[in-house]
Amino acid sequence: QSKNTGKNKYTVFDQRMADTFSQKVKIENQLRDALKKDGFTLHYQPVIDTERGKTAYVEALLRLKDNWISPALFIPIAEESDLIISIGKWVIEKVVKDIESWKTKGINTKVAINISPKQLSDPKFLPFIEKVLKESSISPKTLEFEITENILLENREENIELLNKIRELGVSISLDDFGTGYSSLNYLTYVPLDKIKLDKSIKDRFIQLDKITIIDSIVNIAHGLELKVVAEGIETEEEYKRFKKANCDYLQGYYFSKPVDKDTLENFFL
């Protein structure tokens, strides 16, 4: 196009698109490489029991071992390219291994795993989970899947059925990123969930609007539906106190700890 129009702005636009595209291809290749060459690792971030002020469980967060690209950047690329299926399997198997290794050290912790919509819609997902659980010594109760509301956009009925089956296995379900999408309180009434996680951005938005009391109402509604509430992105003591006052059951954020590697987690938090 730019060749024909000769207009500068189109040329620039095309160049930018090309850059983004080549960056994508580059990252995609790095992900493929990482799968082949043991290039992924997991970091774990403690989730704090508000009442007891101690680690209740941890969230597994994927990292590339030797170059620091944010998952916020590479996960969408993994999703587009379907690599997320293989990567997601690696994550689940690695978490199970880590829970097993903790068990031998007398550490019993639950781990929350982020699951992409693409993984859930893979017909092999449930059989895979069943197989992994059968072949390991861990209790299904030590696993939680963090899903997003995107899974309700397509094949809602099937997905709800799948979530029910997962919960029947004993694995709990948490709705991640609450407050970033449609965030309809309506679906909280029919989606089988154990928890919701209030996204960091909702806190930032309501603080900015001086409407933080909305959080109290959301927590109340969730509790009325027998859902636990996690507040994400707690960075200051002030936020900690405010979300404790709002009756959030769990708190997570840099104020308590950044995501850390397995050894650091064992030494400091478990």
Q: Binding of ligand C2E at residue 254 (CB under 6 A)? A: yes
- Confirm or reject binding of residue 48 to ligand C2E (CB under 6 A): no
Q: Whose Cβ is closer to ligand C2E: residue 72's or residue 209's?
A: 72
Binding pattern to Mg ion, positions 209-248, x when CB under 5 A?
-----------------------x----------------
At closest approach, how far in Å is the CB of 235 from ligand C2E?
Answer: 4
Nearest-angstrom CA–CA distance, 50 and 56: 9
3-state secondary structure 191-243: CCCCEEEECHHHHHHHHHCCCCHHHHHHHHHHHHCCCEEEECCCCCHHHHHHH
Give 17's DSSP letter.
H
Q: Which of these, 63, 61, 56, lies nearest to 45 by C-alpha position?
A: 61
Segment 222-251, which members bind ligand C2E (CB under 6 A)? Answer: 232-235
- State the Cα–Cα distance between residues 163 and 145, nearest whole angstrom: 10
- Is there binding between residue 176 and ligand C2E (CB under 6 A)? yes
In the complex, minimum distance from the CB of residue 152 to ligand C2E, in angstroms, rounded to a whole number: 16
Q: What part of residues 85-104 is at the interface with ligand C2E (CB under 6 A)?
A: 91
Residue nearer to Mg ion on the CB measure, 85 or 232: 232
Q: Where are the beta strands (DSSP E) in the chain?
A: 40-49, 54-64, 111-114, 143-147, 172-178, 195-198, 228-231, 250-251
Question: Closest approach of Cβ 70 to ligand C2E, in Å?
Answer: 5
**How many CA atoms, within 13 angstroms, populate the side-chain half-sphere of residue 238?**
4
- The residue with its CB nearest to ligand C2E is 253
Question: Which parts of this chain interact with ligand C2E (CB under 6 A)?
Answer: 45, 61-62, 70-72, 75, 91, 114-116, 146, 176-177, 200, 232-235, 252-254, 259
